[in-house]
Chain A
Amino acid sequence: MLESLTDRLGNALRSLRGQAKLTEENMTESLQEVRKALLAADVHFRVAREFIDRVAKQCEGQAVLKSVTPGQMIVKIIHDELVSLLGEGSTALEDKKPLRVLLLGLQGSGKTTFAGKLALHLRKNGYTPAVIACDVYRPAAIDQLETLARDNDILFYGERDSKNVRKIGRNGWEWAKEQGADAIIFDTAGRLQIDEPLVKEVVDLKKEVQPDESILVADAALGQEAVNVAKTFHEAVGLTGIALSKLDGDTRGGAALSMKAIAQVPIKFLGTGEKVTDLEVFHPDRLAGRILGMGDVVSLVEKA
């Protein structure tokens, strides 16, 4: 799949470059190939289609048809368009103290790990972080967060005999304030976006702790459903950012584009490993290159 993606783009471009003249017709055909490449990178079907429409309009405007290197020019347009779409909105967290951050997402997406990562990141930026364990379901979820906190000297709060997430959140917040924390991170249980009782639970928690940031932690390798996940969570909870996890894998990460385009919530962080230090602030150009198929494309863009 990885090869074929690059091949596909390559073929599409070769067909463009090979043409003495670029016509509307063969451009449409090439953009179809690019669309397929986006789909193979897990970009959502509709997002891919709309994206290609936008690119097609841009191509008209930029006299690609008259260009001597139409292929490169199209790739550059695609790349730039992708960067601007991915990069809309700020990657920064609210600049305030105290800062409260709510983390949520599907099961196994990387929330608890990200709680540790974010705490460390905020500490580097002058905060005193605390993490609050609001996952009362997953076996040993509290132990997991506590271990991460202990190993990194982060303030930790959890209640082992309570199932009242809202109360745990409130108590944790009060406790953390007393301890002098000014960045309070709430880790929640994994949940499906269609699980109404559990979505309500996180909405209630949000009401209780009034977070400044509500961040969706999502696996970068999500498939077509990424859009529904982001959109549904956003509608229910009101997201302020997305953190993509597991970008140290070799996924193209097309889901990120889908989530960004549909939910219109900025991507703020990238998780790039299992260690708590494996966190990066989001840079749209790198993700764009990745979705498009890296090397080849980037060098082509540079030549254009």
Chain B
Amino acid sequence: MKSFFSKFKEGLKKSTPTFYKAFGKVGGLFSGKTIDADTLDELEEALYMADFGVETTEEILGAIREAYRENKELRGQEAAQIGTHVLESVLEGSEGRIEPGAHKPEVIALIGVNGSGKTTTTAKLAHLFKEDGLKPLVGACDTFRAAANEQVRTWCERLDVELVASQHGADSAAVAYDAYAAAKSRGADVLILDTAGRLHNKANLMKELQKIRRVLQKHDEAAPHHSWLVIDGSIGSNSIEQARVFHEAFGLTGIIVTKLDGTSRGGALVGIYRELKLPIYFVGLGEQPEDFQPFSIHHYTHALFGVED
């Protein structure tokens, strides 16, 4: 798989003003001054503002405070480094990488709450696999939302990717079943299933997901080989709850975080990883197929703390 790390960093850079400012005032990067109690407060604010949540914020802050207690000459740059290290160790092992090949077709199911970016991510993945010389096929399992079919069809036409769809109101599991059969017979390498948005607290909709899994397993007991939760990076602490419940109901194998081209820093992904240890495969950085990057701990943490390589 090609790496596009530079764009990831660019995307996040646009969205890291608070951190730059906090550490800028702390003095590190820009003025080289030492830190004090006030700047520690500002740092706390910056950490909360990134949606890191109470736990991660206190951990990072604790580490910097301790360093500060030991060394009153601590510089902003050093504080930023400490923050980066803490975050890197929290995120250790979180980079998901996919290399299709073990199964044919390799089945990826994208699930998540309403509007998180599943359909767009379906298009992004199809585009990526195609660029890599693989043959993707898309199954349009959102038979519920108004014009969901038309949306995914438009993408597939635009990207020249094969699609299996049904009519509005059809059984989504039946579409998944048919899509697998089509992928198999047409020699697709990867089958990407786009599912309807559903809030995790709706038991009936979560059951529908389990049905999708059951019918896929009639074809291949190991399918879906990848069950990825697509999470909107601008959502706060609720995304941890989303991940927890989807994981319990469907057995997730990974996470995709979208909309990191906005001003949110997606700190909730840290909370999710802390708790569930699910790898983060990709991040979405825009509405176009190419606005998509493999997740990189290094780039994420360095961009967040404004630490240069």
Taking CB atoms, residues of chain A closer than 8 Å to B145 are 144, 274
CB–CB B115/A225 < 8 A: no
CB–CB B45/A246 < 8 A: no
CB–CB B238/A250 < 8 A: yes
Contact pick for A228, options B51, B155, B197, B263, CB 8 Å: B263
Taking CB atoms, residues of chain B closer than 8 Å to A225 are 49, 51, 234, 262-264
Taking CB atoms, residues of chain B closer than 8 Å to A229 are 234, 263
CB–CB A249/B236 < 8 A: no
Q: Which residue of B lies closest to A258 (CB)?
A: B236
Q: Which of A42-90 contact B (CB under 8 A)?
A: 42, 44-46
B201 to chain A minimum Cβ distance, whole angstroms, is 5
B167 to chain A minimum Cβ distance, whole angstroms, is 12
Q: Which residue of A lies closest to B267 (CB)?
A: A223
CB–CB B147/A147 < 8 A: yes
CB–CB A143/B147 < 8 A: yes
Nearest 6 CB-CB pairs, A to B? A223-B236, A108-B115, A139-B154, A42-B236, A140-B150, A144-B147
Return the CB mask of B256-267 against A: 1 if under 8 Å, else 0.
000101111001
Return the CB mask of B238-278 against A: 1 if under 8 Å, else 0.
11110000000000000000010111100110010000000
Taking CB atoms, residues of chain A closer than 8 Å to B147 are 140-141, 143-144, 146-147
Return the CB mask of A132-159 against B: 1 if under 8 Å, else 0.
0000011111011111100100000000
Contact pick for B232, options A41, A219, A250, CB 8 Å: A219
CB–CB B263/A194 < 8 A: yes
Contact pick for B51, options A106, A223, A248, CB 8 Å: A223
A254 to chain B minimum Cβ distance, whole angstroms, is 7
The size bracket of the interface on A is 35 or more
B220 within 8 A of A: no
CB–CB B241/A46 < 8 A: no
Contact pick for A249, options B54, B201, B264, CB 8 Å: B201
CB–CB A255/B236 < 8 A: yes
Most A-side CB within 10 Å, residue of B49, B114, B232, B234: B234
Contact pick for A224, options B48, B151, B199, CB 8 Å: B48
B287 within 8 A of A: yes
The size bracket of the interface on B is 35 or more
Return the CB mask of A168-210 against B: 1 if under 8 Å, else 0.
0000000000000000000000001110000000000000000
Contact pick for A42, options B158, B199, B202, B238, CB 8 Å: B238
Sampled A-B contacts (8; CB under 8 Å): A42-B51, A106-B262, A108-B116, A138-B287, A221-B235, A223-B235, A246-B199, A248-B201
CB–CB A250/B234 < 8 A: no
A291 to chain B minimum Cβ distance, whole angstroms, is 12
B113 within 8 A of A: yes
Most B-side CB within 10 Å, residue of A110, A148, A194: A194
A106→B232 CA distance, assembly (Å): 11
A228→B265 CA distance, assembly (Å): 13
Interface majority SS on A: helix, strand, loop or mixed? loop
B113 to chain A minimum Cβ distance, whole angstroms, is 7
A39 within 8 A of B: yes
Most A-side CB within 10 Å, residue of B45, B150, B153, B268: B150
A298 within 8 A of B: no
Q: Which residue of B lies closest to A4 (CB)?
A: B54
B283 within 8 A of A: no
Q: Which residue of B lies closest to A148 (CB)?
A: B146
Query: Using a Cβ cutoff of 8 Å, how many contacts connect chains A and B?
Result: 140
Taking CB atoms, residues of chain A closer than 8 Å to B259 are 106-108
Taking CB atoms, residues of chain A closer than 8 Å to B153 are 140
A300 within 8 A of B: no
Q: Which of B81-117 contact A (CB under 8 A)?
A: 113-117
A297 to chain B minimum Cβ distance, whole angstroms, is 18
Taking CB atoms, residues of chain A closer than 8 Å to B197 are 274
A3 to chain B minimum Cβ distance, whole angstroms, is 10
CB–CB A246/B151 < 8 A: no
CB–CB B113/A249 < 8 A: yes
B127 within 8 A of A: no
Most A-side CB within 10 Å, residue of B49, B147, B264, B287: B147
Return the CB mask of B150-185 against A: 1 if under 8 Å, else 0.
110111001000000000000000000000000000
A36 within 8 A of B: yes
Taking CB atoms, residues of chain B closer than 8 Å to A41 are 237
Taking CB atoms, residues of chain A closer than 8 Å to B232 are 108, 219
A249→B242 CA distance, assembly (Å): 9
**Contact A246 B287, CB 8 Å, known A139-B155, A219-B232:** no
Return the CB mask of A103-120 against B: 1 if under 8 Å, else 0.
000111110100000000
Taking CB atoms, residues of chain A closer than 8 Å to B271 are 1
Known: A42-B238, A107-B117, A223-B51. 7 other contacts (CB 8 A): A45-B49, A194-B263, A221-B239, A223-B235, A246-B114, A248-B199, A250-B201
